[in-house]
Amino acid sequence: MIEVDKLSRTFRTYKKQPGFWGGVKGLFKREFEELAAAKDVSFSIKEGEFVGFLGPNGAGKTTTLKMLAGLIYPTSGSATVAGFNPTKRENAYRRIFALVLGQKNQLWWDLPAIESFLLLRHIYRIPAEQWQETLDELVDLLAVRGKLNVMVRELSLGERMKMELIAALLHRPKVLFLDEPTIGLDVVSQRAVRNFLRAYNKRHKVTILLTSHYMADIQELCERVIVIHKGQKIYDGDLDRLETGSAGTRQKIVTFLPENDSFTTEWKSAYGITTREDLGKIVVRAPSTQVVQVSQEILTQGPVADITIEDVPLEDVIADLFEKN
Ligand SMILES: Nc1ncnc2c1ncn2[C@@H]1O[C@H](COP(=O)(O)OP(=O)(O)OP(=O)(O)O)[C@@H](O)[C@H]1O
Ligand SMILES: [Mg+2]
């Protein structure tokens, strides 16, 4: 459904020297800085797949999604989505995909959502009956019927996001690019959006590429993730395998020290695991198979107030991956 082949995009930004004379100098000799927001990114996504697109701030996720939506042109490389070349910006392509930018408002601010939906019906030339049917389904799934006539600017962030999703789905796109659709939402709204996306993906077999900095979104919705860092793809595969890693599942041993007591600041276990002391506690990450031995080793070091063993959160796994790269 989505084929991306060595997609790259460089941004050229003008570097201004500080101060007045810097500005004057810039009039004669411009210095540019080139930044590769996406570098040779390739992947392919099958119909109906729900793929997580991860990367730290500035990794190039939004840039890539915008290229797939035809909003910006790639510097090199190519992409096809459902057989279309997004750069051609064909109307037929517009009818089969949707891009939701959580950071941006796409609805008309001074109109009630229902008016925007009516406008979209005309823009996409959706038959009235189909429009009504889709709208009813979405409104019920997202539980926003009571808010359809409220001015968009008066809606809460969560309600507005739900309306954005409805607006994006009214024309029944086959491919969805979701860029942080849960940003800033409280836990309850996040869960509502997540449940909606899961149900919608199952029911309509839409292909979804989702970016989010909330790992719960990714863990609950995506089996596969693509990770990019500084514009380059560094991982593409099962989320499970990413979490497990090559060293087997890792767990976190948190040792709380009694007050006024401390281990040596740098402690090295016999298993070669180095750790740092951190405000009255020691956090060690060990492969599951060694957790028991390492915990015992910690307990022999001195008095311990409490000890807990936790799974390493996905956030940490990913942060490690970024650091390694
Ligand atoms: N129009 C632009 N002009 C110049 N540089 C840009 C432009 N758009 C993006 N960039 C740069 O490209 C890089 C990638 O940006 P992008 O928005 O794709 O990151 P992102 O992965 O979506 O990050 P975030 O998680 O913060 O949303 C950044 O360093 C950004 O500053
Ligand atoms: Mg972004």
251-294 tens-digit pLDDT: 777 777 776 555 554 566 666 565 666 667 777 777 777 788 88
Q: Round to whole Å and give the CA distance between 212 and 180.
A: 5
Structure letter (DSSP) for residue 87: G
Which domains occur in the chain, in start order?
2-243 (3.40.50.300), 246-324 (3.30.70)
Ligand of minimum distance to the alpha carbon of 34: 1
Where does 69-156 have alpha helices with state H? 91-94, 113-123, 128-142
183 touches ligand 1 (CB under 6 Å):
no
- 131 alpha carbon to ligand 2 midpoint, in Å? 31
pLDDT digits (tens, 9 = 90+) for 6-20: 999 999 887 777 888
Element (H, E) at 296: helix 291-301
106 touches ligand 1 (CB under 6 Å):
no
Ligand of minimum distance to the alpha carbon of 63: 1
Protein residue with least CA distance to atom 7, ligand 1 = 11
* Cβ–Cβ < 8 Å for 28, 1: no
Element (H, E) at 239: helix 239-244
Ligand of minimum distance to the alpha carbon of 226: 1
pLDDT digits (tens, 9 = 90+) for 54-89: 988 889 999 999 999 999 999 999 999 999 999 999
Using a CB cutoff of 5 Å, list residues around ligand 2, an ion.
61-62
Give 9-14's long-range contacts (Cβ < 8 A, gap of 24+): 9/36, 9/37, 9/38, 9/60, 9/63, 9/64, 9/67, 9/72, 9/73, 9/74, 9/75, 10/34, 10/35, 10/36, 10/37, 10/75, 11/35, 11/37
> How confident is the model at residue 271, as a pLDDT?
60
Element (H, E) at 130: helix 128-142
Query: And the tokens for 162?
Result: 């739900």
* Cβ–Cβ < 8 Å for 88, 104: no
Report the pLDDT averaged over residues 94-121: 92
> How confident is the model at residue 276, as a pLDDT?
60
DSSP helix/strand/coil, 211: strand
* Cβ–Cβ < 8 Å for 177, 97: yes
- 161 alpha carbon to ligand 1 midpoint, in Å? 22
- Rounded to two decimals, the pTM is 0.82
60 touches ligand 1 (CB under 6 Å):
yes
> How confident is the model at residue 265, as a pLDDT?
47
Query: And the tokens for 307?
Result: 């000890």
68 touches ligand 1 (CB under 6 Å):
no
Query: Taking Cα atoms as reference points, which of 275, 230, 235, 226 lies closest to residue 255?
Result: 275
Protein residue with least CA distance to atom 5, ligand 1 = 11
Query: Taking Cα atoms as reference points, which of 134, 206, 208 lies closest to residue 170?
Result: 134
Cross-strand pairs, 80: 3
Where does 51-94 have alpha helices with state H? 61-68, 91-94
- 114 alpha carbon to ligand 2 midpoint, in Å? 28
